[in-house]
Amino acid sequence: MDTLGLRESKKQETRQLISDHATRLFMEQGFEQTTITEIATAARVAKKTVTNYFPRKEDLALDHHEEFTASLARAVTDRAAGESALTALRREFNTALEERNPVAGFAGPEFARMIADSPTLTARLRDLHDQREEALAVALADAAPPATPAIAPRAAAALLAAAHRLLFRRIQELTLAGHPNDRIATTVAPEAAHVFDLLAASLGDFPAAVE
């Protein structure tokens, strides 16, 4: 591995170390009660190092935020030839369900409770859902035919993002109720199918499938 690769690897290790200690402290003490100084001390780094990697305290807890906000747009952009946006998003969600992916809402009861008990994290999660919808609207607009009404991609994004938001909350709800991940996946799979079937009646193959 070259010097640049080693440097990048070290940065990733430091970032993960800080995130791991922050998550542990948040779950032990509560998000609001934990300070950046305590996190820095636990990770044995300077306070400035923590804020360099994580400018917002909320991002220490929700450290998959970039992947989360980009996930729906990426599924549309990367969809296979002949595949509609709805089909791609449905397939992507089913894959996340099978993998018990945190982006879909799987986080474990302690983590889910940490978010539920924190007004700051709850508000940040709402903001991330909104950002994900906005990114999806841009991807749908880019994929839509030229004659498509300007409101159409935003309307489709609102419906699709709302469905994913609902399913995310459902997974969190079942997690907080004490259900194990396998049982949650078994419960949510038919519910998700119902939700996506409802969307199919509204959206059809919008936007037109890629050639």
Give the CATH number for residue 26: 1.10.10.60
Residue 37 shares a structural domain with residue 101: no
Residues 184 and 150 placed together within one structural domain of the fold? yes
**Distance (Å, rounded) from C-alpha 132 to C-alpha 78?**
16
If asked whether residues 39 and 97 sit together in one domain, one would say no
Given the structure tokens 């591995």, which residue do they identify?
A: 1
Q: So what's the pLDDT on residue 80?
A: 87
In a domain, 179, yes or no: yes
Predicted local distance difference test score (pLDDT) of residue 210: 52
CA distance 136 to 129: 11
pLDDT at 132: 97
- H helices, E strands: number in the chain: 10, 0
Residue 177 lies in a domain: yes
Write out pLDDT tens, residues 115-127: 999 999 999 999 9
Whether residues 34 and 86 fall in one domain: no
Evaluate whether residue 69 is within a structural domain: yes
Q: Are residues 24 and 77 in the same domain?
A: no
* Shared-domain flag, residues 85 and 7: no
Instruction: Please state, in angstroms and as integers, the Cα–Cα distance from residue 111 to each residue in 27, 34, 49, 54, 185, following that order.
Output: 7, 15, 24, 19, 18
Q: Are residues 179 and 121 in the same domain?
A: yes
Stretches in the chain below the pLDDT threshold 70:
1-4, 208-211
Query: How distant, in Å, are the alpha carbons of 66, 136, 139 from that of 132?
Result: 9, 6, 11
CA 182 vs CA 93, 109, 170, 172: distances in Å: 15, 14, 14, 13
pLDDT of the residue at 64: 84
115/42 same-domain check = no
Is 184 inside any structural domain? yes
The per-residue pLDDT for 82 is 78
Q: Which of 17, 33, 56 is the C-terminal boundary of a domain?
A: 56
Same domain, 41 and 125: no
Range of the domain at 22: 3-56
Same domain, 18 and 42: yes
Query: Is 208 a domain residue?
Result: no
Q: Is 47 in the same domain as 133?
A: no
167 and 139 fall within a common domain: yes
17 part of a folded domain: yes
Q: How much is the pTM? A: 0.88
In a domain, 23, yes or no: yes
User: Per the domain annotation, does 9 fall within a domain?
Assistant: yes
Of 56, 82, 99, the last residue of a domain is 56
Give the chain's domain count.
Answer: 2
